[in-house]
Structure 1
Amino acid sequence: MRENPDYAFDDVAGIKEFIRQNPWCTFTTYVPGAGLVASHYPVMLEEDIFGDRAGAAEDGVEKIVLVSHVGRPDEEKHQLGQHEMLAIIQGPHGYISPGWYGYRPNVPTWNFAVAHLTGTPEILSDQENLTVLDALVEHFEKVLPDPHLLHATAENSEYAHRIVRGTVGFRLEVTRFEAKEKMSQDKPASSVRTIIDTLRAPGPYTNPALAERMEHVNAVKLSAESSAGEKEA
């Protein structure tokens, strides 16, 4: 990704929370003789499933460990476990019009948040894979009024054990990562506030998720603006 200190996103705890909020992942592998292979599956942090087994700090450095699965025969296409894999997590993103800044000259841009996480997959046992699938289903179902869990009934449990054979689970201990979030950090607070308000308003580019992320990233700047306004009043 393009280097720009204004948009640096290198806080491990922040990236973990970013993954929790954006669990849809693109997995990419370069396979010799076949080229690039990409698959798309949901992902979770291992520490959210297996507790302290992984994700603990080593030599003062906190780990990021992902767990996911692929459906057969994707594991053969990726030659899963034999090569490095790039996991791409994308957060809210959207078009930003130059008309929203409140001053000229300006140009259009695209705000976004994305993390590139690299590591070599380790294939899970069938039981570990089932544990991951169980946790994944519970994560998304628990907020519903009538959650359908894999082991809610004997029938569901039997079905879950059948489908696990059609998937291959893996853990990916991240050995390096690069992340950026471009949320108008280089713009004046007044412009940031106008962009956020515009993204929340009805219109062709309404984008509440992006507005919320912008507000989070620019919280200090917006708070300072608010405090200054109160003092002037």
Structure 2
Amino acid sequence: MNGLLAYTGTASPDLPELRSISGHHSRSQGGIMLVPKMYEASSPEQIRAVVSGYPLALLLTNGTQVPFATNLPVVTADDAGGDDLVGRTLFGHMNRTNKHWPALADGMSGKLVFNGPGAYISPVAYETSPAAPTWDFVTVHLYGRIRPLPAGEDTLAVVRRTAALLEGEFGRGWDQSDSVDYFRSIVAGVGAFEFHVDKAEAMFKLSQEKSPEIQQRLIDGFADRAGSHRALGCTMRDFGLGTTEGP
């Protein structure tokens, strides 16, 4: 399972046993993401961290010819419930002029895709030949049901909570209090919805099939690079990969 051909998205008898985070076999459930066992999330907390740390999701719902797909920010609807997102409600919103908006209906099934850090892996780190490159990545897929919210105060509440949570996580302490009336003046153009999570799956492809020494070389190399590479190295450390002899 090394190199660019290691993950093709196609089931194969040679792949490890496949399971979802809930422990059910993915092979028997149509339309469910293929996740080799070594790349599974081991706890709901790991999934929640991706959703919170990378909240720009892709919402997918069925269309007449091809699926609708819209990138949008997604946050939890409340602060209760712990780390397990299954059974929780999320908030999302988009521009009402988006053709995706009128296609949403109460109870419609949908999927939210969150992409965490990812990076190209050069075979130089393997220090062996022949070898093939690959791409390591983190992704979370949430399956659930959609409920479009009424215009007005309900939608304003979604916009305000989204802004507050994202400012708290990524911003610089901006206080929205003086901007609420401005929010209210533009919220007519916003379509907000609830997303009730029924199932969560994740794939953490972090070179788990490689030796700890190779993993450590990758982590050390990522530490000198900015952005997604460094974040991927931190995720590898969080998963206990590599050795203890790193710098």
Q: Does TM-score exceed 0.5, indicating one fold?
A: yes
State the partner residue of 2:210.
187
For residues 191-224 of structure 1, what are the alpha-carbon distances to aligned partners after superposition, in whole Å with 9 as ceiling and x for unaligned? Answer: 1110011122259x9821111112212x2x44xx
State the partner residue of 2:68.
37
Q: Which residue of the other structure, out of 83, 87, 106, is the alignment partner of 2:131? A: 106
Whole-angstrom distance in 2 between the partners of 1:17 and 1:206 = 15
2:117/2:228 contact within 8 Å kept: no
- The higher radius of gyration belongs to 1
State the partner residue of 2:163.
137
Q: Number of matched residues? A: 210
SS at match of 2:219: helix
Q: Which residue of the other structure, out of 213, 219, 222, is the alignment partner of 2:235? A: 213
SS at match of 1:173: strand
1:198/1:206 contact within 8 Å kept: no
1:131-170 equivalent positions in 2, closer than 5 A? 131-142=157-168, 144-145=171-172, 147-149=174-176, 152-153=177-178, 156-170=179-193
SS at match of 1:131: helix
SS at match of 1:92: strand
State the partner residue of 1:199.
222
Whole-angstrom distance in 2 between the partners of 1:61 and 1:26 = 17
Structure 1 position 90 matched with structure 2 position 115? yes
Counterpart residue type for residue 212 of structure 1:
C
2:86/2:199 contact within 8 Å kept: no
SS at match of 2:67: strand
SS at match of 1:35: coil
Q: Which residue of the other structure, out of 43, 46, 54, is the alignment partner of 1:14? A: 46
Structure with the higher helix share, 1 or 2: 1
SS at match of 1:93: strand
For residues 150-206 of structure 1, what are the alpha-carbon distances to aligned partners after superposition, in whole Å with 9 as ceiling and x for unaligned? Answer: xx22xx222111222111211111112321110011211111110011122259x98
Whole-angstrom distance in 2 between the partners of 1:136 and 1:206 = 24
Seen in structure 2, the aligned counterparts of structure 1 residues 177 and 209 have a Cα distance that, compared at 3 Å, is same
Counterpart residue type for residue 178 of structure 1:
E
Structure 1 position 66 matched with structure 2 position 123? no
Residue 97 of structure 1 deviates from its aligned partner by: 0.9
SS at match of 2:106: coil
Unpaired stretches in structure 1, ≥5 consecutive residues: none
Whole-angstrom distance in 2 between the partners of 1:165 and 1:64 = 27
For residues 6-31 of structure 1, what are the alpha-carbon distances to aligned partners after superposition, in whole Å with 9 as ceiling and x for unaligned? Answer: 10125223211220011010011112
Structure 2 length-normalised TM: 0.74
Seen in structure 2, the aligned counterparts of structure 1 residues 36 and 184 have a Cα distance that, compared at 3 Å, is same
State the partner residue of 1:122.
147
State the partner residue of 2:35.
3
Structure 1 length-normalised TM: 0.78
State the partner residue of 1:25.
57
2:104/2:146 contact within 8 Å kept: no
